[in-house]
Amino acid sequence: MTELMQYTITGLSLGMVYSLIALGFVLIWKSSGVANLAIGQLVLFSSWFTYGMLVQAGLPPWLGIPLVIIFALMLGWSVERLALRPLIGQPILSLIAVTLGLAYFIEGLVGIIWPKSLASLPPLFPQEPLRIGSAVIRQEFLWAAVISIVLFVLLSIFFKYHRMGIAMRATADDQKAVQACGIPVTRIFSQSWMFACVLAAVGGIRISSIGNISKAPLVEMGLKAFSVVILGGLDSFLGAIIAGPIIGLAETIGGGYLSKVAWEGVREVIPFLIIIIVMIFKPYGLFGEKRIERV
């Protein structure tokens, strides 16, 4: 029971990080039709940048974290402007491949600036564990979950009521109509990239403040967010928010109990197995529009 409780809380918290990252993906996909495979590397870059700000430059979190957000905004803007803008209207293969090139580039850049393979952030959340019943839960997880929920709410309000949010939804719906209404579509594209980078950065900070900042596992973290996207449906914000905790729970609960019967570390592949299963049985996901062509 205690075990289950712990798995549940960790899973939910982890899943919400996936949701955040996945939201960034869905945002870009909906507004510009680009499949951003470099999302893991965006998480990687902003996590290490946080390390640079908080540890190497020794800034306090109230100053360092906003700087990271500003950095993420700039990163998103420049990625869209330099790599994606010239390819507007190209076949999907090129759009996927350019993000792969981006992934390579960012990974190399991070390797040059931060050659260490492991680092840790100073604790951002209170450390003492909480007791719920017989389960002992690290307070960090709860704080992380709270931050995610606050972000979800803010994002929903933004998309529902803010001018820019409405413009973004409209672009996702029909690019041509939006352009005819005088909304600059390219600006929406770059805004969605900026947003996605901020979401990736928040996800990265949350993950690395709880565990370590690493290289390959962080990238894999971003890739696991794809299973959220696939399960929730590529073009559904709601799907991403709901599917995140599902994947997180499947990873921790499934991994926790299966590791007794299967090989050690089975939780690492559960999101990828879910991808394959969803692909075979329900390719448009739980909430995705069933527009995908059956061929």
Partner 1 sequence: MSLPTGIRNYTYAEDMAILRTRTHWVLLGVFLLLLFTAPLYLNDHWLGIVNRIGITIIAVTGLNILTGYCGQLSIGHAGFMAVGAYTSAVLTDRLGLPFLASLIFAGLSAGLIGMVFGMPSLRVKGFYLAITTIAAQFIIIWIIEHWTEVTGPNGIMDVSPASIGGIALKTPASEFYLILAITILTVYGAKNLARTKVGRAFVAIRDNDLAAEVMGINLFRYKLTAFFIGCFLAGLAGSLMAHTSRSISPDYFQFKDSILYVGMIIIGGLGTTTGPILGVVFIRLIDEFVTQLSPTLQTAFPNLLPGFTSGIAPMIFGLVIILFLIFEPRGLEHRWQLFKAAYRNWPFSY
Binding site for partner 1 (CB under 8 A): 29, 35, 37, 83, 86-87, 90, 92-94, 96-98, 100-115, 219-220, 223, 226-227, 229-230, 234, 263-265, 268-269, 272-273, 275-276, 279-280, 283, 292-295
Using CA atoms, how far apart are residues 53 and 95, in angstroms rounded to an integer? Answer: 32
Of 156 and 186, CB closest to partner 1: 186
Of 190 and 209, CB closest to partner 1: 190
Of 175 and 268, CB closest to partner 1: 268
| Distance of closest approach, residue 274 Cβ to partner 1, in angstroms | 9
Distances from the Cα of 181 to the Cαs of 28, 177, 278, in angstroms?
21, 6, 38
Distances from the Cα of 7 to the Cαs of 4, 254, 265, in angstroms?
5, 9, 15
| Distance of closest approach, residue 231 Cβ to partner 1, in angstroms | 11
Of 169 and 282, CB closest to partner 1: 282
Helix ranges (H only) for 83-215 are 92-113, 139-161, 163-173, 175-180, 185-210
Name residues whose C-beta falls within 8 Å of residue 152's C-beta, 6 or more positions apart in sequence.
19, 241
Closest alpha carbon to 77 in 222, 187, 211: 187
Of 65 and 218, CB closest to partner 1: 218
| Distance of closest approach, residue 83 Cβ to partner 1, in angstroms | 5
| Distance of closest approach, residue 292 Cβ to partner 1, in angstroms | 6
